[in-house]
């Protein structure tokens, strides 16, 4: 009888300590920073590009994303729907996937007809004492910055709300590294809010297809130069 109780307790402990599930986020996006800069500083150019800028904003706000996590592994990607039109499917596909485990932290995306494996810079966090409830979980606020090699800190400060009731350092859009699951995050023009959190068994989380390895800083420079050209 004692042996049976021991194995029962061991099973319950392992089940409760296995942390896997998913979080669905909405994105209350603002106008992309590239278009916002044009709107603020060049009215003639804004008239030329505003239709595309506003369309991108509309699409950004309409896309839901899901973070799948299983212990040290996580994958963040857009949710695909059968009734998506061709343009929306294409843009979702081009928005990329964020993958993280104990050894890797990267963003996989296809841009300019080429696959990239963008190595993400770790975020340096400062945890505050501010707290609030999100989906029934007690969350703490943290501020973060990225230090790119040979440059100053990133121009946009990152804000995140995380719960250490789920002790996994995952979050949306490559925003991670805190001692708990991130349920709200703000970076640049993107504002992610958790809508649904499910603690449930997950299938194995697979790494996205590999592409050309590039640093986050050099990838951003490449994309900016492509736009300006």
pLDDT in tens, 51-108: 989 988 988 898 999 999 999 999 999 998 878 777 777 778 778 899 999 999 999 9
Per-residue confidence (pLDDT) for residue 67, from 0 to 100 = 97
Q: What is the dihedral of CA 43, 47, 48, 50, to 10 degrees?
A: 110
Per-residue confidence (pLDDT) for residue 7, from 0 to 100 = 38
In three-state secondary structure terms, 119 is strand
CA 6 – CA 225 distance, rounded (Å)? 62
> In sequence order, which residues have a C-beta less than 8 Å from that of residue 176 and are 6 or more positions away?
74, 100, 105, 123, 169, 170, 182
- Residues of the chain with pLDDT below 70 are 1-18, 149-156, 226-229
Could you tell me the pTM of the whole model? Answer: 0.86
- According to CATH, the topology of domain 20-228 is outer membrane lipoprotein receptor (LolB), chain A (2.50.20)
């Amino acid at each position: 009888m004692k042996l049976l109780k021991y194995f029962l307790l061991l099973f319950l402990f392992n089940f409760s300590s296995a942390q896997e599930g998913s979080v669905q986020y909405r994105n209350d996006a603002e106008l992309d920073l590239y278009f916002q800069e044009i709107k603020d500083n060049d009215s003639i150019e804004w008239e030329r590009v505003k239709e595309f800028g506003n369309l991108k904003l509309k699409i950004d706000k309409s896309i839901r994303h899901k973070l799948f996590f299983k212990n040290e592994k996580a994958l963040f990607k857009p949710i695909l729907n059968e009734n998506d039109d061709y343009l929306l499917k294409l843009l979702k596909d081009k928005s990329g996937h964020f993958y993280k485990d104990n050894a890797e932290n990267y963003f996989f995306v296809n841009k300019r007809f080429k696959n990239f494996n963008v190595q993400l810079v770790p975020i340096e966090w400062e945890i505050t004492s501010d707290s609030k409830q999100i989906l029934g979980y007690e969350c703490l606020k943290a501020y973060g910055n990225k230090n790119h090699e040979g440059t100053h800190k990133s121009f946009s400060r990152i804000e995140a709300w995380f719960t250490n009731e789920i002790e996994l350092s995952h979050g949306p859009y490559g925003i991670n590294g805190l001692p708990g699951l991130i349920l709200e995050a703000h970076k640049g023009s993107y504002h992610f809010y958790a809508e649904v959190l499910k603690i449930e068994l997950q299938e194995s989380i697979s790494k996205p297809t590999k592409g050309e390895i590039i640093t986050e800083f050099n990838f951003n420079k490449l994309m900016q130069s492509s736009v300006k050209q």
